[in-house]
Chains A and B, each alone.
Chain A
Amino acid sequence: MKKLTFTPRMLLTTILLIMGVIIAAVPKNTTTPYKLSADQILDEIKSGTQYLEPEQIAQMLVEKDPYLQLIDTRPQSEFEKFNLNGAINIPIDNLLSTEYIEVFDQDVKLNVFYSNGSTQANEAWMLLRQLGYSNIYVLRGGLNYWAEAILNPTPPTGLSSNDEIARYNFRRAAGQTLGAEGLDSAPSEGNDVKTVKVPAPKPVGKKKKVAGGCS
């Protein structure tokens, strides 16, 4: 009986075919497009790095910081009734619409989400974070806390510490400054609803034009 010899050709053929069968059998979407793992997101949630305090935002608004980009995730009708100065409206339903990619895909501006509370803003933050966008934050407490803390701060009692009194003074000052323009109840008249123009943001690595190939 003839003994079957295993030549290098047959070995190569076998290996190639086996690898081909494996790769054909693997479901296509095994590779995740997400840039952060679930663990990483959980770490960020635990440490609360996504939150910016109302005071920080108020200060930036008073200083008319051009790098601040407030994003209102509420429906358009609510946005038109009331919004923070300079905010743009991206209802959470349209968050992934391609027209907003440029807003998120940059590393110059601070994108700060807010909604009435902070749940919806947090949802937007988490989704975008998972897609790999950076420079996104959430206004702590949302508009409800904003109204409470900045627009109608509670006066300190006689037992308050110096810190608390200082914070109250800051909030009251900011509230007075922003009270006029911050409560933008008729955005159709106000021109400064639109954001301050800054130089076109540099796209981050993700969207860098790919080039190369052999020709």
Chain B
Amino acid sequence: MGPLVINEIISENTNLLLAFFIGIAFGFVLEQGGFSSSRKLAGVFYGYDAVVLKVFFTGAVTAALGMLFMSLFGWLDLSLVYVNETYLTSAILGGIVMGAGFIMGGYCPGTSFCGAAIGKIDAMIFVIGLFIGVFIFAEGYPLWEGIFKANFMGYPKISEFLNISEGFFALILVIAAVTMFWGAEWAEKKFPREEY
């Protein structure tokens, strides 16, 4: 029964090896999906191309349904699955910084490496900028440690927060995703761009 590493079905090293192959596959699929093009990525903000929204929500919905069904079949112990810690202030500020960087630079951290790997110069510049940001954050850490760690909320799940079952939240997520897919396709027709 999963998770594989925690239940010692596979070792940490095997896990890293698997991560290596999954990472390569992920990068490949990302590139094939057009995620190495900053114009395509930025399209989600202007409505002419919603591939980012579609891919990430498909990912979220697939993972959510997959995990809940695996838990239902007794293949996965959800209580052992890692949940990201939530520092609310950091999450909001980080979201703003990340979003602004995404609109301006046309990449998010993962896709910038994808673009850089196939030789896109704008992606390489973005990666350099990313490292500058990492450096500033790390060196100036004492300055923003207070903000960084403010409003720690533990390891909450939205379903717990709203006091609904995980399955019901998954249904809401599916409905939201499907609605957004159809809305996004409508927007793509409404705000078309010939070449990008």
- Asked if A and B bind, the verdict is yes
Residue numbers of A with Cβ under 8 A of B are 9, 13, 16-17, 19-21, 23-26, 28, 30-33, 205-206, 208, 210-213, 215
A212 to B77 Cα, complex, angstroms: 16
Question: Which residues in chain B, 153-196, are within 8 Å of chain A measured between CB atoms?
Answer: 165-168, 170-171, 173-175, 177-178, 181-182, 185
**Chain A interface mostly helix, strand, loop or mixed?**
helix
A24 to B61 Cα, complex, angstroms: 13
Contacts of B177 in A (CB 8 A): 16
**Chain B interface mostly helix, strand, loop or mixed?**
helix
The list of the 4 closest CB pairs from A to B, nearest first, reads: A20-B174, A24-B171, A20-B171, A23-B167
| B82 near A23: Cβ-Cβ < 8 Å | no
Q: Chain B residue with minimal CB distance to A33?
A: B79
A26 to B8 Cα, complex, angstroms: 29
| A23 near B65: Cβ-Cβ < 8 Å | yes
B87 to chain A, nearest CB (A): 12
| B178 near A17: Cβ-Cβ < 8 Å | yes
A124 to B174 Cα, complex, angstroms: 44
Q: If A16-B174, A23-B171, A25-B167 touch, does A205 touch B8 (CB 8 Å cutoff)?
A: yes
Question: Which of A26, A30, A31, A33: most chain B Cβ within 10 A?
Answer: A31
| A20 near B82: Cβ-Cβ < 8 Å | no
| A24 near B82: Cβ-Cβ < 8 Å | no
Q: If A19-B65, A205-B6, A205-B8 touch, does A26 touch B72 (CB 8 Å cutoff)?
A: yes
A28 to B79 Cα, complex, angstroms: 13
B180 to chain A, nearest CB (A): 12
A91 to B167 Cα, complex, angstroms: 38
Cross-chain contact of A20 among B3, B74, B170 (Cβ < 8 A):
B170
